[in-house]
Amino acid sequence: MPTPLKKLRLQGFNNLTKTLSFNIYDVCYADTAEQREAYIAYIDEAYNAERLTSILTDVADIIGANILNIAHQDYDPQGASVTMLISEEPIAAEHLSNTASPGPLPDAVVAHLDKSHITVHTYPETNPETGISTFRADIDVSTCGRISPLRALNYLIHALESDIVIMDYRVRGFTRDVKGKKHFIDHNISSIQNYLSRDTKRRYQMVDVNVYQENIFHTKMVIKQFNLDDYLFCIKARELSERDHRRIHKLLRRELSEIFYGRNLGRNLEFMDD
């Protein structure tokens, strides 16, 4: 856990804007058109607007925000979005410091703090040629004042249990202390990994690209353990022929590699275990 800065005494309101953005991916193999339709139906049910609203309600509570308004929508043929207007809770604010902390673990959507917001949009899709199906959720948690989106980090990663998580965190603007000095960040951070739980670090391989002088932090995570059964929909690995086992294994590893690296590579992740 990072060492907290000494609490700042400010002239007035904390004007720093802190934004945490996620791309979260779940990958599977569905062999037939019926299986692919069933996968999309499953994802649409598991991550519909009602459930996403529940997740974001928990997020608002975790970061110490008061929900002002909610807008949510399920789409045809698939996908969902949710929006919340939120503000800093007066009672919770009394116990907030000018530092961030990891926050709790859990058991898309949009939220807006006054001058801040949280958003989630979901994108299920399938490839009829290869049988690969992918679910993506885009999440933005943007706050100002003493509320920190980093407190929702571990909750969201666990609540959406994904194969790949790509995160960006940025602090913008400045706030002034009582002596008039500008502060462009109000907490210590060298990497988003500073705020990840131990079990998350054990489960994922991670890569960082950080621009410290601009207060921009970028972390990619891909699941370490590769078990083919975890990626098959409506079928078990033991039911596959040896040839199909190798083919599907290669397709899935390539899909994960290309999403993780953000480009078509034609090669597999080397560090994922079987």
Q: Tens-of-pLDDT digits for all 274 residues of the chain?
A: 444 445 555 545 567 888 999 899 999 999 888 998 898 889 889 999 999 999 999 988 898 888 888 889 999 888 999 988 777 655 344 444 444 455 554 444 444 444 577 889 999 888 888 999 999 999 988 887 777 889 888 999 988 888 999 999 999 888 787 788 888 888 889 999 999 999 999 999 999 999 999 999 999 999 998 899 999 988 899 999 999 999 999 999 999 999 998 876 655 555 555 5
From 112, 121, 183, 249, active-site residue: 121
Residue 22 falls within a domain, yes or no?
Answer: yes
Cβ neighbours around 114 below 10 Å, total = 15
Residue 274 falls within a domain, yes or no?
Answer: no
- For 254, the domain range is 17-261
From 116, 142, 148, 162, active-site residue: 116
- Amino acid identity at 259: I
d(CA 34, CA 233): 11
Residue 79 falls within a domain, yes or no?
Answer: yes
For residue 77, say if its preceding peptide bond is cis, omega within 30 degrees of 0. yes
Question: Could you give the number of structural domains in the chain?
Answer: 1
The confidence score (pLDDT) of residue 148 equals: 83
Residue 245 falls within a domain, yes or no?
Answer: yes
Reported as type and span, the H/E element at residue 234 is none
Cβ neighbours around 8 below 10 Å, total = 18
- Our answer to whether residue 144 is catalytic in this structure is yes
Q: CATH no. for residue 73?
A: 3.60.90.10
For the residues of 40-80, what is the DSSP string, one character each? HHHHHHHT-HHHHHHHHHHHHHHHTEEEEEEEEEE-SSS-E
Residue 1 falls within a domain, yes or no?
Answer: no
- Our answer to whether residue 116 is catalytic in this structure is yes
- Our answer to whether residue 121 is catalytic in this structure is yes
How far from each other are the two terminal CA atoms of the chain, in whole angstroms?
Answer: 31
From 144, 148, 162, 249, active-site residue: 144
Residue 271 falls within a domain, yes or no?
Answer: no
d(CA 224, CA 226): 6
Residue 196 falls within a domain, yes or no?
Answer: yes
Q: By CB neighbour count within 10 A (0-12 exposed, 13-18 middle, 19+ buried), where does 66 fall? A: middle
Residue 8 falls within a domain, yes or no?
Answer: no
Residue 218 makes CB contacts below 8 A (sequence gap 6+) with 166, 167, 168, 169, 192, 208, 209, 210
User: What are the distances in angstroms from CA 175 to CA 72, 102, 105, 187, 203?
Assistant: 33, 23, 30, 12, 37
